[in-house]
């Protein structure tokens, strides 16, 4: 077969959106190499006790003032979504040893958290506007300036909901400047859509792919089960080697794997990537966000309006803090899921399913009594251990500046980089992945069509 112009590594949202952009611009001879047996990447549903649940992305943002093309696609495929009852998220907040906190107290703590967020947003804007060089602080440092740093278990779980639940990593290590103000898709005063569709959120990535691929399994431009292990690059082009011993050649490559994967040696770049690039990769952060699903024979948790979520407070920040039932989406499913992040995710991933179940049941018995039934099934995703993801999504660390982030996305010779982590506004989100795919493809098109190839700028090779 003919040598393609571009090889795209990875068939997640960013890789597919880059491929679509190239196709639309007339670059038809492309080849997508995907390590797994499916497209979609971190948009991934799985069948759990007869229901489609989202192992990866679950919330679709876009009810706000900014047009979100991912939401438009979701509407085209009639993706089934519901609106989460975020207004009532704090209405059932349990003490560490069981029993509910008085609603008034929780509301008062939440009010402080909202004011603290507003302060952080204003302070971040001030930093951006008034300080010439790129000065940044952590969200926690911002909270301390507000003189209302969360300290008690109750304050911490509310803060967890306001920050870690979105960022994946705690305020201590997260950039204030690049996280606040929260972007328009998220902080629009409207709840994001919660995806609960038998076809999964991944139907949206498939929809995009089908606009240029004849088949998601056998189109010659897409090869599944191709684990890229080596990229040899020079002014003449790239040679991409896969684990099964194949070699694919092209003029250019677009690498769309997660920054977590780039931090490992799964893909060997030859020559080694320049130092500036390696630093930009190694200093960025990839979090782990874990939704643990549990199926019970019957429900024993609060149900009815305003009960979709419940919170568990613990002196240990992030210890099984945020629970959600699926009664609105899948009535009668008797499924609960609890979200853990960052260090707790790293710890939980090392445990067996049985060990996780034992921990979780101690918490549930504390809240609902010793007579609750044993779960019939448990699902513990392990995104951090998976060599094709090495985490769930990226998080902007407080000591990482804009210049370095630009370098994270900069091309090196004929090798271009894309993916969620390169987004400036929607880092970590499916929407961010979609936009960066387009941006990277356009950058490369500038090179192919106009010979303005940023990969060959002075320092770049």
Ligand X SMILES: Cc1cc2nc3c(=O)[nH]c(=O)nc-3n(C[C@H](O)[C@H](O)[C@H](O)COP(=O)(O)OP(=O)(O)OC[C@H]3O[C@@H](n4cnc5c(N)ncnc54)[C@H](O)[C@@H]3O)c2cc1C
How far is the C-alpha of 349 from the C-alpha of 383, rounded, in Å? 8
DSSP 412: B
Q: Does 193 sit near ligand X (CB under 6 A)?
A: no
Contact by Cβ (8 Å): 42, 389 = yes
Q: Does 389 sit near ligand X (CB under 6 A)?
A: yes
How far is the C-alpha of 310 from the C-alpha of 301, rounded, in Å? 9
Q: Does 239 sit near ligand X (CB under 6 A)?
A: no
Binding segment for ligand X (CB under 6 A), chosen from 78-86, 300-308, 370-378, 385-393, is 385-393
User: Is 387 or 399 the residue whose CB approaches ligand X more closely?
Assistant: 387
Binding segment for ligand X (CB under 6 A), chosen from 38-46, 74-82, 87-95, 311-319, is 38-46
Q: Which two tokens stand for residue 84?
A: 């989460």
Binding segment for ligand X (CB under 6 A), chosen from 85-93, 250-258, 340-348, 444-452, is 250-258
- Give 12's strand partners: 40
User: Is 205 or 367 the residue whose CB approaches ligand X more closely?
Assistant: 205
Total number of residues that touch ligand X (CB under 6 A): 40
Least distance CB 370 / ligand X (angstroms): 31
Q: Does 258 sit near ligand X (CB under 6 A)?
A: yes
Q: Does 256 sit near ligand X (CB under 6 A)?
A: yes
Q: Does 261 sit near ligand X (CB under 6 A)?
A: yes
Contact by Cβ (8 Å): 281, 400 = no
- Select from 58, 84, 313, 401 the one that contacts ligand X (CB under 6 A): 58
Binding segment for ligand X (CB under 6 A), chosen from 3-11, 99-107, 144-152, 175-183, is 3-11
- Select from 6, 7, 8, 11 the one that contacts ligand X (CB under 6 A): 11
How far is the C-alpha of 229 from the C-alpha of 181, rounded, in Å? 39
How far is the C-alpha of 345 from the C-alpha of 342, rounded, in Å? 5
381 three-class SS: coil
Q: Establish whether the linkage from the previous residue to 271 is cis, with ω within 30° of 0.
A: yes
Binding segment for ligand X (CB under 6 A), chosen from 91-99, 113-121, 302-310, 429-437, is 429-437
User: Is 222 or 261 the residue whose CB approaches ligand X more closely?
Assistant: 261
Residues contacting residue 419 through CB under 8 Å, at least 6 positions apart = 10, 12, 14, 255, 256, 257, 258, 259, 433, 436
How far is the C-alpha of 394 from the C-alpha of 371, rounded, in Å? 40
User: Is 189 or 305 the residue whose CB approaches ligand X more closely?
Assistant: 189
251: left (phi over 0), alpha (psi -120 to 50) or beta: alpha
DSSP assignment string, 269-313: EESPPPHHHHHHHHTSEEE-EEEEEEE-SS--S--STT-SEEEE-
Q: 35: annotated binding-site residue?
A: yes
How far is the C-alpha of 67 from the C-alpha of 47, rounded, in Å? 31
Binding segment for ligand X (CB under 6 A), chosen from 31-39, 135-143, 353-361, 449-457, is 31-39
Q: 14: annotated binding-site residue?
A: yes
Q: Does 267 sit near ligand X (CB under 6 A)?
A: yes
Q: What are phi and psi of 125, to 5 degrees?
A: -60, -40
CA 382 vs. chain centroid, Å, equals 14
Q: Does 309 sit near ligand X (CB under 6 A)?
A: no
Cα atoms found within 13 Å of the Cα of residue 87, Cβ hemisphere only: 5
User: Is 27 or 31 the residue whose CB approaches ligand X more closely?
Assistant: 31
Q: Does 41 sit near ligand X (CB under 6 A)?
A: yes
Q: Does 186 sit near ligand X (CB under 6 A)?
A: no
Q: Which two tokens stand for residue 129?
A: 């506007």
- Select from 6, 8, 22, 35 the one that contacts ligand X (CB under 6 A): 35
User: The dihedral of CA 131, 144, 188, 174: what is its sign?
Assistant: positive
Binding mask 197-236 for ligand X (x = CB under 6 A): ------------------------------xx--------
Task: Please state the residue numbers annotated as binding site.
Answer: 14, 34-35, 228
User: Would you tell me which residues interact with ligand X (CB under 6 A)?
Assistant: 9-15, 33-36, 41-43, 56-59, 227-228, 256-258, 261, 266-267, 289, 291, 383, 388-389, 392-393, 419-420, 428-431, 433
Task: Please state the residue numbers annotated as binding site for FAD.
Answer: 14, 34-35, 228
């Amino acid at each position: 077969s003919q040598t393609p112009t571009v090889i795209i590594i990875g068939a997640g949202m960013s890789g597919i959106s880059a491929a679509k952009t190239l196709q639309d611009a007339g670059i038809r001879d492309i080849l997508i190499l995907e390590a797994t047996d499916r497209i979609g990447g971190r948009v991934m549903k799985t069948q759990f006790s007869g229901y489609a649940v989202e192992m990866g992305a679950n919330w679709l943002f876009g009810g706000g003032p900014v047009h979100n093309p991912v939401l438009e696609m979701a509407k085209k495929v009639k993706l089934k979504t519901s609106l989460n009852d975020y207004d009532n998220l704090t209405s059932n907040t349990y003490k560490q040893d069981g029993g509910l906190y008085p609603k008034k107290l929780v509301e008062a703590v939440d009010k402080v958290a909202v004011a603290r967020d507003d302060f952080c947003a204003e302070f971040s804007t001030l930093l951006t506007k008034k300080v010439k060089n790129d000065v940044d602080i952590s969200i926690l440092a911002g909270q301390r300036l507000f003189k209302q740093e969360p300290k008690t278990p109750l304050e911490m779980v509310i803060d967890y909901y306001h920050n870690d639940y979105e960022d994946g990593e705690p305020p201590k290590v997260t950039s204030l400047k690049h996280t606040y103000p929260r972007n328009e898709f998220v902080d629009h005063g409207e709840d994001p859509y919660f995806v609960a569709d038998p076809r999964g959120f991944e139907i949206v990535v498939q929809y995009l792919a089908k606009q240029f691929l004849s088949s998601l399994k056998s189109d010659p431009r897409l090869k599944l089960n191709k684990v890229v292990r080596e990229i040899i690059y020079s002014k003449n082009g790239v040679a991409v080697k896969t684990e099964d011993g194949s070699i694919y050649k092209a003029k250019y490559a677009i690498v769309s794997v997660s920054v977590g994967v780039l931090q490992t040696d799964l893909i060997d770049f030859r020559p080694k990537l320049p130092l500036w690039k390696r630093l930009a990769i190694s200093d960025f952060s990839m979090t782990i966000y874990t939704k643990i699903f549990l199926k019970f024979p019957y429900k024993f948790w609060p149900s009815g309006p305003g009960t979709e979520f419940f919170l568990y407070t613990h002196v240990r920040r992030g210890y099984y803090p945020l629970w959600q039932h699926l009664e609105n989406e899948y009535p009668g499913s008797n499924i609960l899921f609890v979200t853990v992040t960052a260090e707790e995710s790293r710890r939980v991933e090392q445990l067996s399913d049985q060990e996780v179940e034992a921990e979780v049941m101690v918490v549930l018995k504390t809240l609902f009594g010793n007579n609750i039934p044993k779960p019939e099934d448990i699902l513990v995703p392990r995104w951090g251990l998976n060599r094709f993801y090495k985490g769930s999504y990226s998080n902007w660390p407080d000591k990482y500046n804009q210049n370095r982030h630009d370098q994270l996305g900069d091309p090196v010779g004929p090798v271009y980089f894309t993916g969620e982590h390169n987004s400036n506004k929607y880092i970590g989100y499916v929407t961010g992945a979609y936009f960066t795919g387009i941006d990277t493809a356009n950058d490369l098109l500038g090179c192919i069509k106009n010979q303005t190839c940023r990969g060959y700028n002075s320092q770049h090779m």
